[in-house]
Structure 1
Amino acid sequence: MTVPTDRPTDVQASILAFIEAKTKTTLTPDVDIFAVGGLSSLFAMELVVHLEKTFGISITGADMRLDNFRTVASMVELVTRLGESTRA
């Protein structure tokens, strides 16, 4: 099931749920998930695949920067922006 990208609260809840299920850690949208430690490059790739499949977007090129994945808030911005360009 694809989560609509035009509802940031739904996007945020979905991303938080995925990360918390994988890391067994409760996070807030503005915490740097890579600074808290314990995350691998494999997890980063799982996260990209999850975002693409869940939100029906494609993350390529310049959008693959770490800054776009550092916090849940930055991922919500990325997903929302890419979702808008998909619908345009």
Structure 2
Amino acid sequence: MTETSDLVGSAALAPADHDVAAELLEFLAAKAKKTLEHDQDIFAVGGMSSLFAMQLVVHLEKTYAVTISGADLMLDNFRTVDAMVRLVRRLGPSAPGAVGTGGTGGE
């Protein structure tokens, strides 16, 4: 089994990444009614639908103040908690060029 410190591959996680992973695991456990691992394909375990995928997008956008659109809506960005942590990190308010969050995007 992978240690929490190994989340998101071999790259070291910032404390905020651990918080995102923990929150997502809790959210998924509540929705799926089962405990999932950070590197487990949430769609392969069953019970997850395309409707759930859209609920997941809305949850990420509201919870982490990100906008997910276009190419970022690929299913691979949502298959695992690790993938979602990377997506949130990349799109988050501190990401270069983040729109509406002090970044330079859209200016």
TM above 0.5, yes or no, is yes
Displacement after TM superposition at 1:23 (Å): 0.7
Q: Which amino acid aligns with 1:14?
A: E
Residue matched to 1:31: 40
Paired with 2:20 and 2:53, the residues of 1 have a C-alpha distance of 18
Mark the runs of 5 or more structure 2 residues left unpaired by the alignment: 1-13
Moved over 3 A (4+): none
Matched, 1:9 2:18: yes
SS at match of 1:49: helix
Hey, what's the Cα distance between the residues in 2 that align with 1:62 and 1:6?
A: 27
Matched, 1:42 2:12: no
1:70 matched to 2:70? The reply is: no
2:65 pairs with one of 56, 63, 86: 56
Measure, in 1, the Cα distance between the counterparts of 2:84 and 2:60.
9
Q: Which runs of 5+ in 1 are unaligned?
A: none
Code of the aligned partner of 2:26: A
| TM-score computed with the length of structure 1 as normaliser | 0.89
Quick one: distance in 1 between partners of 2:32 and 2:47? 8
**AA in 2 matched with 1:36:** V
Question: RMSD between aligned alpha carbons?
Answer: 1.6
Identity %: 60
Q: Which amino acid aligns with 1:60?
A: S
In the TM superposition, residue 38 of structure 1 has moved relative to its aligned partner by: 1.2
Question: Which has the larger helix fraction?
Answer: 1
Q: TM-score, normalised by structure 2?
A: 0.74
| Higher RCO (C-alpha under 8 Å, 6+ residues apart) | 1
